[in-house]
Amino acid sequence: MSTTITVNGNAVALPSDPRVSLLDFLREHLHLCGTKKGCDQGACGACTVLLDGEQRILSCLALAVQYGGRAITSVEGLATDGQLHALQQSFIEHDGFQCGYCTPGQICSALGMEAELRRGVPSYVTEDIGAETVAFSEDEVRERMSGNLCRCGAYNGIVAAVTEHHVQLHGRAATGEAS
């Protein structure tokens, strides 16, 4: 079993106490406070981080030691050379946040959602679950992001930000309905 975990590109020692949640490890041990503690029950998504750059996980429900030898990316790890990640910039441009509390989890979740789409993972609204690819749509965004709550109600800005980011990457406009 590995005794280190890579967080935002840096290898760090795992906590000696195996009961420490990944969320508490990030916030209290590594002082990375971008990931938020909302409900501490996996219901709000404020603590969403990325595992191995693609899989979104709720860090409040995970133990840090579970991810020994793996890579965790929090919102702090998304910027490069002092430049915001394109999705972070899109959130700003589309007012995809109001108080900003949920924003780090929303952004990490959206990046994980995009990875799911690339892998062809269907959602509840995917019309053909047997298809090898899943078409991007605003309905897919809404469904896949439904586990991330925004208490301020910035959902329209969030969907617009995620859609713009997708269009920037893939050059295709999204539709309002799943295709």
Instruction: For the chain, state the CA radius of gyration.
Output: 16
The sheet carrying 48-51 orders its strands as 10-13, 4-7, 71-73, 48-51, 55-58
Residue 157 sits in a domain whose CATH number is 1.10.150.120
Q: What pLDDT digit, counting tens, does each position of 69-122 carry?
A: 999 999 999 999 999 999 999 999 999 988 999 999 999 999 999 999 999 999
- 57, 77, 97: which is the final residue of a domain? 77
Question: Is residue 176's pLDDT more than 70?
Answer: no
Is 114 found in the same domain as 94?
yes
Strand partners, 83: 80
Q: Which residues have C-beta within 8 Å of that of residue 125, sequence separation ≥ 6?
A: 137, 139, 140, 142, 143, 178
Do 125 and 154 sit in the same domain of this protein?
yes
Tell me the residue range of the domain where 158 lies.
86-175
Q: From 28, 48, 77, give the residue that closes a domain.
A: 77
Assign residue 44 the CATH number of its domain. 3.10.20.30
pLDDT at 173: 56
Q: Are 63 and 14 spatial neighbours (Cβ–Cβ below 8 Å)? A: no
Query: What is the Cα–Cα distance from 105 to 133, expressed in whole angstroms?
Result: 25
pTM above 0.95, yes or no: no
User: Do residues 100 and 165 share a domain?
Assistant: yes
Given a contact cutoff of 8 angstroms between Cβ atoms, the answer to whether 73 and 53 are in contact is: yes
The tally of domains found in the chain comes to 2
